[in-house]
């Protein structure tokens, strides 16, 4: 993906051991299509050399406000006007204090002060010892920085270079990258609580065997990520899959359809949007054996009988909150043929305002997909693309529809 194509990021480094992670962050930003201008404080250059950062960013690094390379000798103005964002990573306790006080006696703080605030957002990735982070002075400064319009990307928890353990580590480069990408996504679902089901379910036959399906969970995880990027609080109820939890998403792992129903019903109480992407097993063995079913050598095979699983989507769509529209329900349909007719019929059968059709064999396990959106007004095609790109488009469509309903 080129999620940062066309974006120009000023990457500011300040004095901290986490400077070593900034090298990888710089590469990660470039890989997503951004151009990166590195600006370093004097202290940062004690931890990593400008040569390293120049080689990685493919641009001369700036460090001094007296740098004669800028023809007008105004590096602070030139560099800050071109940027789509200034990202300070790592941002030391000292530099946070400087930002709060509007200091301007080195190039990076001068740039932050001189930037047009409504056009060039300031993103800050703090990095410091746990005591420094917990200190009331730092916490006060962080609060003030947020009031002044900066976005704090948070800190990680864990072992620190000083040998202590606690809050204050800089986030990992991949986490910062995800946060920067999310920052640029339109906040169409701000204030919404979104519930997503994803993946297959596993229906036990006995303690060691069960029935499942080939759903990878990728579409649902992409939908959860896209909803989070759009500003929603997201709960992801996931069947058994091996996928990383999208950043900022609350994940609850479940196994069977009955588990998924129970957790979803509970979580749906506070949700405003429910997106059912899970491939829930239609049936489960009527009785799951308590002990492993053994071969006894007689050649006799066990006879399984099945009962139908509850329909989670229909249950929530027909609940009082679903019916009143307080909970906007979106279903998925994986079909092998006649996608449009099947999707339209399924939308009515489930009683949901929006149903998203896809061709099962063309999506299971794949990284891309194509979607067909069916609602009461008609049909919309979302052409083949990566699952994340489609998920973002779907979230935008859902946001438009829920806004329109809210305005009725
Ligand atoms: O009926 P079918 O399984 O084709 O419906 C698919 C849609 O219904 C998907 O959104 C799926 O997540 C949801 N579903 C459900 N509970 C079931 C079966 C399907 O929530 N037991």
User: Ligand 1 mean position to 139 CA, how many Å?
Assistant: 46
Catalytic residues: 162
Residue 62 DSSP symbol: B
Q: Express each pLDDT in 141-185 by its tens digit.
A: 999 999 999 999 999 999 988 898 999 999 999 999 999 999 999
> How much of the chain exceeds pLDDT 90, in percent?
88
For residues 316-340, give the mean pLDDT: 95
CB neighbourhood size of 385 (10 A): 15
Report the C-alpha gap between 129 and 300 in whole angstroms. 66
Which residues are within 8 A (CB) of 26 and not within 5 positions of it... i.e. 6 or more apart?
Answer: 11, 36, 38, 53, 56, 57
- The answer on pLDDT for 104 being more than 80 is yes
Q: Express each pLDDT in 240-279 by its tens digit.
A: 999 999 999 999 999 999 999 999 999 999 999 999 999 9
Does residue 328's CB lie within 6 angstroms of at least one atom of ligand 1? Answer: no
Q: Express each pLDDT in 206-218 by its tens digit.
A: 999 999 999 999 9
Phi, psi of 291 (to 5 degrees): -120, 160
Residue 363: what pLDDT? Answer: 79
Atom of ligand 1 lying closest to residue 350 CA: 8
**CATH class of segment(s) 8-184:** alpha beta
> How much of the chain exceeds pLDDT 70, in percent?
99
| Single pTM value for the model | 0.94
Q: Express each pLDDT in 73-84 by its tens digit.
A: 888 888 888 999
**CATH class of segment(s) 193-293+300-407:** alpha beta
Atom of ligand 1 lying closest to residue 282 CA: 21
Quick one: tokens of 401? 């529809």
For residues 345-351, give the mean pLDDT: 96
Residue 76: what pLDDT? Answer: 81
Does residue 313's CB lie within 6 angstroms of at least one atom of ligand 1? Answer: yes
Q: Express each pLDDT in 358-404 by its tens digit.
A: 987 777 778 999 999 999 999 999 999 999 999 999 999 999 999 98
CA 159 to chain centre: 25
Q: Would the CATH topology of 8-184 be identical to that of 193-293+300-407?
A: yes
User: Ligand 1 mean position to 241 CA, how many Å?
Assistant: 18
Domain ranges of the chain: 8-184, 193-293+300-407
Q: Express each pLDDT in 27-57 by its tens digit.
A: 999 999 999 999 999 999 999 999 999 999 9
Atom of ligand 1 lying closest to residue 257 CA: 21
Does residue 197's CB lie within 6 angstroms of at least one atom of ligand 1? Answer: yes
User: Ligand 1 mean position to 2 CA, how many Å?
Assistant: 33
Report the C-alpha gap between 134 and 254 in whole angstroms. 36
Quick one: tokens of 223? 């939908």
Atom of ligand 1 lying closest to residue 313 CA: 20
**Residue 407's pLDDT band (cuts 50, 70, 90):** low
Does residue 280's CB lie within 6 angstroms of at least one atom of ligand 1? Answer: yes
Q: For atom 9 of ligand 1, which residue has the closest CA? A: 332
Residue 77: what pLDDT? Answer: 85
Quick one: tokens of 115? 């930037």
Does residue 343's CB lie within 6 angstroms of at least one atom of ligand 1? Answer: no
User: Ligand 1 mean position to 290 CA, how many Å?
Assistant: 28
- Axis crossing angle, helix 75-82 with helix 107-114, rounded to the nearest 10: 60
Does residue 65's CB lie within 6 angstroms of at least one atom of ligand 1? Answer: no
User: Ligand 1 mean position to 345 CA, how many Å?
Assistant: 13
Report the C-alpha gap between 395 and 391 in whole angstroms. 6
Report the C-alpha gap between 319 and 253 in whole angstroms. 23
- Candidate of 202, 217, 278, 282 to mutate for ligand 1, largest count of ligand atoms within 8 Å of Cβ: 278
Q: Express each pLDDT in 111-150 by its tens digit.
A: 999 999 999 999 999 999 999 999 999 999 999 999 999 9
- The answer on pLDDT for 199 being more than 50 is yes
Residue 408: what pLDDT? Answer: 46
Are residues 281 and 212 in contact, defined by beta-carbon separation less than 8 angstroms? yes
Atom of ligand 1 lying closest to residue 315 CA: 20
Pick from 15-19, 21-25, 336-340: least confident: 336-340
Does residue 395's CB lie within 6 angstroms of at least one atom of ligand 1? Answer: no
User: Ligand 1 mean position to 146 CA, how many Å?
Assistant: 42
Does residue 260's CB lie within 6 angstroms of at least one atom of ligand 1? Answer: no
Report the C-alpha gap between 135 and 203 in whole angstroms. 50
User: Ligand 1 mean position to 238 CA, how many Å?
Assistant: 14
Quick one: tokens of 33? 């299509």
Are residues 187 and 302 in contact, defined by beta-carbon separation less than 8 angstroms? no
Residue 147: what pLDDT? Answer: 98
């Amino acid at each position: 993906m080129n999620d940062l194509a066309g974006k120009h990021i000023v990457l500011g480094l300040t004095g901290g051991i986490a400077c070593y992670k900034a090298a990888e962050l710089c590469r990660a930003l470039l890989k997503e299509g951004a151009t990166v201008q590195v600006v370093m404080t004097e202290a940062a250059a004690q931890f990593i050399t400008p040569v390293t950062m120049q080689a990685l960013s493919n641009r001369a690094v700036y460090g001094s406000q007296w740098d004669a390379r800028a023809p007008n000798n105004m590096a602070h103005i030139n560099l800050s006007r071109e940027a789509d964002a200034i990202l300070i990573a790592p941002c030391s306790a000292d530099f946070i204090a400087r930002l709060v006080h509007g200091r301007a006696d080195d190039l990076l703080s001068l740039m932050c002060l001189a930037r047009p605030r409504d056009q060039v957002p300031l993103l800050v990735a703090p990095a410091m010892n746990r005591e420094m982070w917990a200190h009331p002075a730092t916490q006060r400064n962080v609060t003030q920085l947020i009031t002044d319009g900066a976005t704090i990307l948070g800190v990680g928890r864990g072992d620190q270079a000083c040998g202590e353990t606690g809050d204050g580590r800089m986030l990992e480069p991949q986490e910062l990258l995800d946060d920067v990408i999310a920052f640029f996504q339109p906040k169409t679902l701000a204030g919404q609580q979104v519930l997503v089901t994803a993946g297959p379910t596993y229906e036990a036959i006995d303690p060691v065997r069960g029935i499942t399906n080939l759903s990878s969970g990728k579409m649902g995880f992409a939908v959860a990520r896209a909803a989070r990027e759009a500003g929603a609080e997201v709960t992801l109820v996931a069947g058994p899959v091996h996928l990383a939890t999208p950043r900022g998403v609350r994940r609850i792992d479940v196994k069977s359809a009955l588990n998924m129903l129970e957790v979803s019903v509970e979580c749906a109480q506070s949700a405003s949007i429910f997106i059912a992407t899970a491939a829930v097993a239609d049936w489960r063995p009527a009785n799951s054996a308590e002990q492993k079913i053994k071969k006894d050598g007689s050649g006799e095979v066990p006879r399984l009988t099945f009962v139908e699983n509850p329909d989670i989507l229909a249950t929530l769509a027909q609940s009082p909150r679903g019916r009143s529209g307080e909970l906007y329900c979106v279903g998925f349909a994986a079909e092998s043929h006649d996608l449009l007719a099947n999707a339209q019929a399924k939308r009515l059968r489930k009683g949901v305002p929006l149903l998203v059709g896809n061709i099962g064999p063309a999506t299971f396990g794949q990284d891309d997909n194509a979607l067909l959106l069916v609602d009461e007004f008609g049909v919309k095609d979302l052409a083949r693309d990566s699952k994340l790109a489609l998920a973002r488009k779907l979230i935008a469509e859902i946001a438009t529809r829920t806004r329109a309903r809210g305005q009725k």
